[in-house]
Amino acid sequence: MKIMLPFNNLIVTDRNSQVGIAAQISDQIIKLIRDGVVVPGALLPATRILAGLIGVNRKTVNKAYEELLNQEWIESVPRQGFRVKINLPLIKPRSFQPVNKFEQTDRQQPAYIEKDEIPKLSKRRIPDYELLVTDGLPDYRLTPHNDMQREYRKHLDNKALNRATYFLDQGGHPSLKNATASFLNGSRGLNVAEENVLITRGGQMAIYLAITLLVARGDEVVVTEPNYVFTDETFLNAGAVINRVGVDEDGLIIEELEKILEDKPVKMLYLAPHHHHPTTVTMNSERRLKLLQLMSRYDFWVIEDDYDYDYHHSNRPILPLSTSCHSGKIIYVGSYSKLLGPSVRLGFMISAPKVIQRALHLKRLFDLKGDVFNEYVLAQMIMSGALDHHIQNVNRLYAARCALMAQLFDEMLGNKVSFTIPQGGLALWVKFHEKYDLKQLIRKAAEQGLHLIGNACFNPASPHNNSIRLGFASLVEEEIIRVTKILQQLLS
């Protein structure tokens, strides 16, 4: 069964607007086409179905579709309905660029990625109709905008909230700090309170704060090989000396970590035990227990990154390391962006109250005020159960997308790729056969309108060499099929 876009969330009408309802609908469909949400060649819902989804009269939808036909955005296809025209005009941006007065500077690159080898999203203008396979991000089309807008409008005139925007950030609005503690206690068994919580602008800010706060120039740190690239860069920015340990099907290889600990005074370890980034493997219980024993013996800090803990497709997840006794040496970080959508820049850092206070002081140096209204809105969603309901809905959908991508890769790519279906999460870690050059494949795919921007490993000494992280969560069924067909063509 083909999955339909959530038009009831994507098209929102306002009966108080001076713009007619039909014009609102046609304008929003045009925006969806421009933004690449509705792609050229896509069939629009039948007028009766769309009318039911967005709560308007069918004649109103007919009028909106007539306007789209007149503007040549869509066409009528016999026995199929209305379809977005395949040959749409490209709207080019202005070519004028002012002279840049700032000189470009060099910066240190992660050890296993050569400069400019991977096409970076920030360096490219990708046409809306081309395919984008992310590192493993949630589908922005599923962001619960209606729930969030409803809460936002409800509290716009809240005097206490508005006055709170005048004051310095207190580590997040108290309502969200309490709601986050409740959410983590209920879903992960952390047993934390408001004073253990710092609200951040996404998980990356929490990682940056923890490293900047606790790691000094010359300190020895440990990460996995491969690893989340922006953690590597944050350690390098702090002047740390990076040591690497391998990852296999059971997670971080403890024996390699132990050898490093025996030889060097390690200050910090970073890992994502639930779904390792980028390989997606889950660290087993035996290794977790051994790691806790090593922490007690060698007294080092651990950043536990559970960025997509809530996405488990077939079983209950293993509880975080942070639920065990660790003498306050684990800093637990996570991201609401992975739950709600990439545009929702909220995350959290969980630690001892003194560490949280020091991190708050550091955070204020570059983020003075916080985001009071969005924090309050999210708190209401957590306490009302709306967030849990959203997680359950998208979890089922992402599990189906994972299964579809895995099935198509098996059927259409065969032994040209290898991968293990993860227990959950938002991406597959795919290793290409050694006869295919992944760097060239990425470039050729881009020429075919397929942009692979996930974290990749190009380290010949690593068993993960020639592998890339392919996010399935942000792709609908039709897009997953197109991705697979392009890869099949490139590998033939």
Mean pLDDT by 10 residues, the chain (492 residues): 73 88 92 85 90 92 92 89 80 40 50 43 67 94 89 86 87 94 90 94 96 97 95 96 96 97 97 94 93 95 93 81 88 94 93 95 91 92 93 94 97 96 94 95 94 92 94 96 96 92
In a shared domain, residues 200 and 260? yes
Strand bridging mode 74-77 / 241-248: unpaired
The pLDDT value recorded for residue 38 is 87
- Name the residue range of residue 347's domain: 166-385
Using CB atoms within 10 Å of the CB of residue 54, give its burial: 0 to 12 exposed, 13 to 18 middle, 19+ buried. buried
Same domain, 426 and 371: no
DSSP-derived secondary structure letter, 228: -
Contact present, 266 and 299 (Cβ < 8 Å): no
Cα separation, 149 vs 173, whole angstroms: 18
Residue 156 lies in a domain: no
The pLDDT of residue 283 is 93
Name the nearest CA neighbour of 322 among 361, 272, 275: 272
Are 36 and 132 part of one and the same domain? no
Domain identity same for 403 and 461: yes
Same domain, 380 and 427: no
In a domain, 362, yes or no: yes
Place of tokens 């969005």: 374
Q: Which of 329, 364, 385 is the last residue of a domain?
A: 385
In a domain, 89, yes or no: no
Counting the structural domains of the chain, the total is 3
Residues 224 and 373 in one domain: yes
Residue 1 lies in a domain: no
Identify the helix (H) or strand (E) that includes residue 349: strand 347-350
Write down the pLDDT at residue 5.
80
Give the domain CATH number at 210.
3.40.640.10
Return the CATH number at 126: 3.90.1150.10
Q: What is the pLDDT of residues 376-420, one digit of tens each?
A: 999 999 999 999 999 999 999 999 999 999 999 999 999 999 999
Instruction: Tell me the Cα Rg of the chain.
Output: 24
β-strands 467-471, 427-432 pairing: antiparallel
* Residues 180, 46 share a domain: no
The Cβ of residue 486 has, within 10 Å, a number of other Cβ atoms equal to: 17
Contact assessment for residue 258 and residue 292, using Cβ atoms and an 8 Å cutoff: no
Statement to judge: residues 58 and 195 lie in one domain:
no
- Closest of 410, 349, 58, 78 to residue 212, by C-alpha: 349
Residues 191, 312, single domain; the answer is yes
What tokens does 97 get?
A: 């660029």
Instruction: Tell me which DSSP letter residue 325 carries.
Output: -
The token pair that represents 238 in the structure block: 């702090």
Distance of alpha carbon 391 from alpha carbon 372, whole angstroms = 23
pLDDT value at residue 116: 45
Residue with tokens 């919580």: 197
Evaluate whether residue 370 is within a structural domain: yes
- Whether 225 and 312 map to the same domain: the answer is yes
The tens digit of pLDDT for each residue in 188-198 reads: 888 899 999 99
CA separation for the pair 466, 452 (Å, rounded):
13
| Domain co-membership, 296 together with 327 | yes
Instruction: Give a yes or no: residue 92 inside a domain.
Output: no
The answer to whether position 293 is within a domain reads: yes
Q: Coil, strand or helix: which one is 252?
A: strand
Last residue of a domain, one of 362, 385, 408: 385
The CATH number assigned to the domain holding 51 equals 1.10.10.10
Q: Between β-strands 220-225 and 266-271, what pairing exists: parallel, antiparallel or unpaired?
A: parallel
Beta carbons within 10 angstroms of residue 248's beta carbon: 12
Q: What is the pLDDT of residue 89?
A: 57
**pLDDT at residue 3, rounded to an integer:** 59
Q: Please name which of 75, 149, 122 lies closest in space to residue 378, comparing C-alpha atoms.
A: 149
**Residue 350 DSSP SS3:** strand
Diameter of the chain measured on Cα atoms: 76
Last residue of one domain, picked from the residues 385, 414, 449: 385
Residues 220 and 355 in one domain: yes
For residues 471 and 121, is the Cβ–Cβ distance under 8 A? no
Q: Please name the residues in contact with 492: beta carbons below 8 A apart, sequence gap of 6 or more.
A: none
Look at residue 2 and tell me if it is in a domain.
Answer: no
